[in-house]
Structure 1
Amino acid sequence: MPHKTQHFTATTGTPPPMGVQPVIDATSSSNGVSAPDGDVTAAALKLDAVAKVLERTYRVEAARQSGLPLTASTIGVGTPRLQPVWFQIARKVVTNGWDPELFIRRVFHGMVAGLRPPGPRFLLSRRADEFFRTAGAAFEQELAIALRSQTNTAACSMTARQSAFKTPQDVWTSVLHDSHIPLSALFRYSLAIGISEKHGERFVKAAAWYLEPAAMQYMRDPEVYDRIWGAIIPPGFPAEARRIYARIVTAAETPMDFRK
């Protein structure tokens, strides 16, 4: 697969997705270089690239918001020419130095799961900006509570099942695969990998069952997950999660349509 290039400002503070080569923006003052007067080509290409990232990330997150499985049929395929609204959103994102993928994901964080996704024009609103700016802090609190709760739930579930199984490995397997226990995909994946370090291949296979949903869960806000759940997230998983998310987003990719 050819190497992808996307343009991000040096002020985003967030690394580009795995597999994406960052390119210094020729119009950015952060690198001490300015585009020649009248030369709008670099800026136009940058807006086009950001607009495409926004549009296809929106389709992925809209499908997730609706509770749909993330497949090519539910994500859909973009049109060759993006609607003008995506260039308006891209201009706002670039002006503020925001990571386009994180902007979309955090806006969706602020919404109640299962509700109908907002239209693209909502992303131009002040309410969307508020969601983006406040979602991180609110999500930190939510994740801290979730980690404590799921840790206690897993421990209690294992204790309660000890008499029903012959070995600890059977107890752990039972808990990992019981969908009625309120444990998230990322917690199950991390738990299985942690157990596999001492108890082998059986739990590597159990972890693989949850890898993709765990990756999508993590990619809601990687920086926050790293801060709050970093102690249980296996080494190497963040990079793998970015690859999985990039693959799913690429499935929604639109043909390139550079405008002069």
Structure 2
Amino acid sequence: MSRIDLNADLGEGFGRWSLTDDAGLLKVVTSANIACGFHAGDPATMERVCRLAVAQGVAIGAQVSYRDLVGFGRRFIAASADELRADVLYQIGALDGFARAAGGRVSYLKPHGALYNAVVHHEAQAAALVAAVTAYDRELFVLGLPGSRWLTLAGEAELRTVGEGFVDRGYTTTGTLVPRGEPGAHVDPADIPARAVAMASDRSIVSVDGSPVATPVESLCVHGDSPGAVATARAVRSALAAAGVSVRSFVEG
């Protein structure tokens, strides 16, 4: 039987504003990428989502970002390697404090938004993320795009890498995500369950130009801030089960 993790971005709000149905998604996913305050997430939200995740037995991950609340972390910032390393280390520690107070711990790290896309190719920033993880806890798993400099450098540092696929985003022929705002960036919700099964079972999907793209992934992401995210996650999980794919967090070994 094939096996795959199902993750979602959670805690993406600030104060009275919230973009994600955290309680609903935590009943479906196996890993939770929780915003750490730099692109979204205030302390009360971080604490609440950590408690919910622990109660549901869902793995907790630090979703780290550039310091960009206004832009929701979707704008590239030319931070120095030392500045970015410190910012990432700060975010991991903040979330881990709430996770441990709730009876859990941060088990993995995933970059968010523009930072995620930058470290596909940006050597210095990818190295800064690796430096932050190794300084905090070398046992943390790290999520990223297969073939990215981020995962390559993390592997060379002997960190535990996890290739991630996006069921609701379009792919280019080179295996990168189609930039937001461009044609094909977002997948028709009706097609998402089948794409999830293809990624998990065949380790391949169809790119925006119709050619096959290899997707050597161990985790699938449903964007929590997308309309109908809970229904989408449920449909994905049902389709995976019907295809004989076991849904379980990668942290379980």
TM range (shorter): under 0.3
Scaled by the length of structure 2, the TM-score of the pair is: 0.26
Task: State the structure with more CA Rg.
Answer: 1
Which structure is higher in helix share?
1
Greater share of strand residues, 1 or 2?
2
TM-score by length of 1: 0.26
